Amino acid sequence: MKNLFYIFIGGGLGSILRYLISNYTQKLWNVNSFPLGTFLVNITGCLLIGFLTSYFVKNDNSLKFLLITGLCGGYTTFSTFSVENFSLWQNQQYGILSLYVLLSLILGFGAVILGMKIQTSL
């Protein structure tokens, strides 16, 4: 039951962070129709989950439910990513769609690796 509470609290905090960061970024840097806010959240979420996953492999405790399942699960936005891709496709913005998908996948994967390498070097 304690782990479910951690997931609940972490998920709420992650969702609030996602909302604030995504909206603020989009307002600050409105780059045509490229969804920069969601892009930033996805990349930083990948970095964070890489770091935390690497940490909790060595230090298994209940905080992984709060931070990985809860916080990162509420913070990352691949469902929003999919909806935005569909919208770009519907609006025939194929160049932006391709750029968004490729950058998200390549930089997200790289950020997970970087997060793990940073954590293991500590």
Q: Where are the domains of the chain?
A: 2-120
**76 in a labelled binding site:** yes
53 labeled part of a ligand binding site: no
- Count of alpha carbons within 13 angstroms of residue 1, beta-carbon side: 0
Task: Give this prediction's pTM.
Answer: 0.82
Q: Is the pLDDT of residue 110 over 80?
A: yes
pLDDT in tens, 39-82: 999 999 999 999 999 999 888 788 999 999 999 999 998 888 99
Dihedral sign of CA atoms 75, 8, 113, 121 in order:
positive
H or E stretch at 61 = none
Residue with tokens 């509470």: 5
Distance (Å, rounded) from C-alpha 114 to C-alpha 107?
A: 10
Query: 30 or 83: whose pLDDT is higher?
Result: 83
27/121 Cα distance (integer angstroms): 36
Q: What is the pLDDT of residue 77?
A: 81
